């Protein structure tokens, strides 16, 4: 058996997009990813199908796996022939114990690479508006471990040298020892008025910043019950936060938002949430596929062969457009086949999907649903006209029935099918149960039904109650009705059935629930 290879990869400080390109490439090709709790769950979604993930992270109250056992695990996996990624928070060489893991791999003749990551020591302060150096305040900085018992810290750190060695001191994982750290810095010459910042879960939705001085920071930590993990910054650069804080000013800062759309359509919503400062959590629960069954396919082929006989083609979704043109192409036809028909579309996204294919629609409806289409085009629909209605297999029957009642001949085509997807995700279940999923977005009725089904499959005792602990946001009235009929409490309903309108409702919700940052 060929020996595998191990990539010791820095995942960055928490925000999934702060991983390096090389780190992401390693994750995508890995057979196994061995990770800790500081690695973003979103990164694990980049793993190839069938790849294994193994959690070995450490928590304050317990150790999931000893370092020696992690070393042994990496060796065993590589000897089995796997490509292994050891995914660590921040940079693997900055208090990441990468030296021990690399040494063990080298001892067994296993190839490895160290892939640097953005260290939390600079990224976390930056997200709090604190540069670790500043031309007028600090020309150097030190990174120091704080994650040891005071006696051990005193043996490891030469406080008389470190205290004033650089303008800025950054202590990693030192919340539990903040009193001792402050006392030692005061003892060795730092002024009591020296500014101090603790930034907890920096770059993530839980980011929280506490500001004080060496004289009072330990008391403030106790008063706020400020928990790890956090980066401690000591020095005058902390004062820059008042002018440079930027992340907290973003409309969706501090909010983790579940995106349930199909992966092929989720990118727009995910990207916009990130642009607005939120933390999207992708968990696609639907996927669209070409229809199965010879009867459906034969009906589609027949409709394509008669395409020039239709007076109208009604498109009710972007998927309807995409799959219609796939079928048109398979029939050896192109957009010229629609020269006779009037083209109707439900809303801006669908209109844009058609425009990209060189088709300009009839005047768009004011309401972005089936009812709006009838309101917009109803007076122009003539008895006896033929209408082609390409759609998904789960689409409502209301539009077709209404058109037929008006005397039009309607051909309904299931041009695609919507199927349940979504792998079991323990991280998602934990976030929901711990009230750390702040909002859940639904963009179709099928996303509602499928998310409930997946949560039940994952072992949720009461999926409805679990979701109702988060803010529920729906893109349109039909989606909201499905959610309410399922027992969900709909908190936000977009004014228009568009992604931008959904985002507007989320930003309004966040603004209404944001009471500011205590402790600065």
Co-location of 9 and 90 in the same domain:
yes
Helix intervals (H) in 287-419: 294-305, 318-330, 348-355, 370-377, 398-405
Co-location of 81 and 19 in the same domain:
yes
173 is catalytic: yes
Q: Which of 427, 517, 502 is nearest to 471 (CA)?
A: 502
Of 36, 322, 369, 414, the catalytic one is 36
pLDDT of residue 520: 44
In a domain, 127, yes or no: yes
Angle, CA 342 vertex, CA 341 and CA 347 arms, to 5° = 135
Of 22, 58, 296, 456, the catalytic one is 58
Co-location of 412 and 429 in the same domain:
no
Round to whole Å and give the CA distance between 487 and 451: 13
Contacts of 440 (CB under 8 A, 6+ apart): 257, 258, 260, 451, 467, 470, 471, 472, 473
48 is catalytic: no
3-state helix, strand, coil in the chain (%, to 5): 40, 20, 40
Q: Is the peptide bond before 229 cis (omega within 30 degrees of 0)?
A: yes
pLDDT of residue 63: 57
Of 47, 173, 304, 373, the catalytic one is 173
Q: Which of 414, 389, 194, 380 is nearest to 289 (CA)?
A: 414
Max CA pair span of the chain: 93
Co-location of 329 and 403 in the same domain:
yes
Residue with tokens 């920071």: 217
Domain span including residue 60 = 5-118
Co-location of 82 and 136 in the same domain:
no
Each residue's pLDDT, cut to its tens digit, for the chain (520 residues) gives 788 999 999 999 999 999 999 999 999 999 999 998 767 788 988 999 899 999 887 654 455 789 999 999 999 999 999 999 999 999 999 998 999 999 999 999 999 999 999 999 999 999 999 999 999 999 999 999 998 888 888 988 999 999 999 999 999 989 999 999 999 999 999 999 999 999 999 999 999 999 999 999 999 999 999 999 999 999 999 999 999 999 999 999 999 999 998 877 778 899 999 999 999 999 999 889 999 889 999 999 999 999 999 999 999 999 999 999 999 999 999 999 999 999 999 989 899 999 999 999 988 888 888 888 999 998 899 999 999 999 999 888 999 999 999 999 999 999 999 888 867 888 899 999 999 999 999 999 999 999 999 999 999 999 999 999 999 999 989 999 999 999 999 999 999 988 999 999 999 999 998 754 434 4
36 is catalytic: yes
Output the domain CATH number for residue 165.
3.30.950.10
Round to whole Å and give the CA distance between 164 and 79: 48
> What's the number of domains the chain is made of?
4
Co-location of 47 and 25 in the same domain:
yes
Co-location of 293 and 217 in the same domain:
no
Co-location of 363 and 273 in the same domain:
no
pLDDT of residue 395: 86
Write down which residue in 197, 227, 249 finishes a domain. Answer: 249
In a domain, 520, yes or no: no
**Three-state secondary structure call for residue 234:** strand
Burial classification of residue 336, based on how many CB atoms lie within 10 Å of its CB (0-12 exposed, 13-18 middle, 19 or more buried): exposed
Report long-range pairs for 186-194 (Cβ below 8 Å, ≥24 apart): 186/214, 186/215, 187/159, 188/159, 188/160, 188/163, 188/164, 189/163, 189/164, 190/163, 190/164, 190/214, 190/234, 194/234, 194/235, 194/236
């Amino acid at each position: 058996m060929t020996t595998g290879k191990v990539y010791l990869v820095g995942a960055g400080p928490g925000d999934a997009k702060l991983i390096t390109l090389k780190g992401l490439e390693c994750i995508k090709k890995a057979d196994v990813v061995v990770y800790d709790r500081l690695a973003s769950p979103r990164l694990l979604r980049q793993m190839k199908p069938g790849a294994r993930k193994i959690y070995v992270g450490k928590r304050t109250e317990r150790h999931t796996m000893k370092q020696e056992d992690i070393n042994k695990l990496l060796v065993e996996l590589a000897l089995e022939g796997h490509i292994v990624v050891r995914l660590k928070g921040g940079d693997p060489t900055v208090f990441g114990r990468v030296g021990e893991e690399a040494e063990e791999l080298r001892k067994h003749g296993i190839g490895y690479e160290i892939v640097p990551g953005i260290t939390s020591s600079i990224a976390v302060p930056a997200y709090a508006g604190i540069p670790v150096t500043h031309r007028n305040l600090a020309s150097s900085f030190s990174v120091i471990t704080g994650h040891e018992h005071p006696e051990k810290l005193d043996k490891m750190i030469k406080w008389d040298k470190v205290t004033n060695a650089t303008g800025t001191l950054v202590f990693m994982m030192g919340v539990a020892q903040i009193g001792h750290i402050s006392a030692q810095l005061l003892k060795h010459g730092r002024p009591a008025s020296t500014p101090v910042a603790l930034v907890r879960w920096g770059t993530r939705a839980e980011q929280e910043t506490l500001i004080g001085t060496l004289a009072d920071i330990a008391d403030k930590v106790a008063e706020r019950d400020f928990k790890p993990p956090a980066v401690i910054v000591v020095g005058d650069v902390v004062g820059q936060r008042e002018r440079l804080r930027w992340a907290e000013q973003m409309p969706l800062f501090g909010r983790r938002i579940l995106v349930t759309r199909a992966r092929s359509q989720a990118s727009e919503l995910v990207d916009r949430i990130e642009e607005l400062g939120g933390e999207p959590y992708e968990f696609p629960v639907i996927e669209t596929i070409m229809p199965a069954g010879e009867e459906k396919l034969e009906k589609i082929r027949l409709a394509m062969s008669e395409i020039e006989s239709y007076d109208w083609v009604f498109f009710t979704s972007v998927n309807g457009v995409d799959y219609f043109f796939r079928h048109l192409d398979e029939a050896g036809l192109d957009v010229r086949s629609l020269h006779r028909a009037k083209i109707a579309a439900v809303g801006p996204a669908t209109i844009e999907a058609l425009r990209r294919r060189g088709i300009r629609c009839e005047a768009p409806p004011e309401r972005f649903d089936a009812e709006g289409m009838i309101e917009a085009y109803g007076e122009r629909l003539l008895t006896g006209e033929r209408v082609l209605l390409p759609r998904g297999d789960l689409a409502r029957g209301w539009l077709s029935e209404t058109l037929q009642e008006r005397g039009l001949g309607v051909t309904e085509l299931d041009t695609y099918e919507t199927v349940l997807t979504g792998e079991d995700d323990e991280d998602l279940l934990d976030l929901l149960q711990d009230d750390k999923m702040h909002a859940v977005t639904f963009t179709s009725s099928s996303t509602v039904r499928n998310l409930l089904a997946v949560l039940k499959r994952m072992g949720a005792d009461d999926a409805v109650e679990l979701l109702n602990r988060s803010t529920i946001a729906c893109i349109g009235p039909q989606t909201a009705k499905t959610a309410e009929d399922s027992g969900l409490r709909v908190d936000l309903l977009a004014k228009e059935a568009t992604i931008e309108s959904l985002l507007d409702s989320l930003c309004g919700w966040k603004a209404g629930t944001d009471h500011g940052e205590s402790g600065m």
